[in-house]
A and B are shown apart, each in its own frame.
Chain A
C-alpha cells in the first residue's frame, strides 16, 4: 500500500469541518415545532453528504476517485438548495459552498485519484 498523500488528509479535514458546520446549522434550524422539520432535514442531508465525502478521503475509500468528485459536487448542490429554501444562514451556506468546491478540487487532483483508485476496498 502506498503512503497516503497529504491531499487526502486535507480533503478529509475540509469535509469534516463542512459536516460539523452543517450539523450545527441543523441544530440551529430546530425550533421545537413540526413546521421546522423540512429545514432540519435539508441541513441533515448537507451534513450527511459532507460526512460521506470525508469517508471517501479515508485510507480505504469505498468508491472510485471520480465518484469522490461527484459526491463533493453534491455537497455544493445540497448546500445551495438549503440556501434557496432559507434553511441555512447565508454566511454558513457561502462557507459550505467554498468547502464543497475545495473538496471537488482536492478530489480531482491526480494524487488523490490514483490513491483512491489503488486502495479502495470495493
Chain B
C-alpha cells in the first residue's frame, strides 16, 4: 500500500506572507498618504485616502491578505481536528471579512459592521487557538498568543481607538506568523 503524506508548509507560507507583508504595505500606504497619524486616525482612513495610490495599496492589501488568510485557514482545517479545526473555520470567515474590509471602504455603510465583526471573530479564533494549543502541548505557541492578547488589552487605557487598532493589527500579524510556524512544524 502506498501512503501519501502532504505537507502543510504551503498553507503556512501563506500565513507568514500575511504576517510579514501586511504591516509593511500599511506602512507604505501611510507614508504615501502623508497626513495619517498614529493614535489619531483609524487604519481604515487609509482606504479613503486623498492619494489614490495609498488607498489602492491599503484596499488591495486587505483583499489579498484576506485571500491568503482563507488559504491558511484551509490548511489548518485539513491539519487539525476538534476545537482547533473549529477555530480554523472561524479564521476562514475572518479572511473573507478582511477581504470585504478592502472591498467596502470607510465611506460605505457596510464598513463599520464588517470591521467590528472581523475584530470580534479574530478575538474568538485567537482565544480558541490559545486554549487548544495549550491543551495539545504547543506551549510556546499558546504562550505567544497569550502575551499578544495581554499587550493589546494593556494598551487600551493609554491609547485611543486608532492606536489600539494599529497595535491589535500588529499583534494579529505576529500571531499569524507564530501560527504558521506552528502549522508548518505540526506532526501528522
* Interface residues of A, Cβ cutoff 8 Å to B: 66, 69-70, 72-74, 76-78, 80-81, 84-85, 104, 108
Contact = CB atoms under 8 A, between A and B. Distances in A.
A77 B151 contact: yes
Contacts of A104: 140, 143
B143 A78 contact: no
Given A77-B148, A80-B151, A69 B167 contact: no
A36 B158 CA distance: 14
B154 A73 contact: no
B158 A73 contact: no
Given A78-B150, A84-B167, A70 B143 contact: yes
A80 B154 CA distance: 10
A79 to B, nearest CB: 10
B163 to A, nearest CB: 9
Contacts of B150: 74, 77-78, 81
11 contacts: A66-B134, A69-B143, A70-B134, A70-B142, A73-B143, A73-B144, A77-B154, A84-B155, A84-B158, A104-B143, A108-B140
Nearest to A113: B139
A81 B143 contact: no
B167 A70 contact: no
Contact of B146 (A70, A80, A84, A85): A70
Interface centre among B134, B150, B167 (most CB of A within 10 A): B150
Nearest to A84: B155
Contacts of B144: 73
Contacts of A72: 143
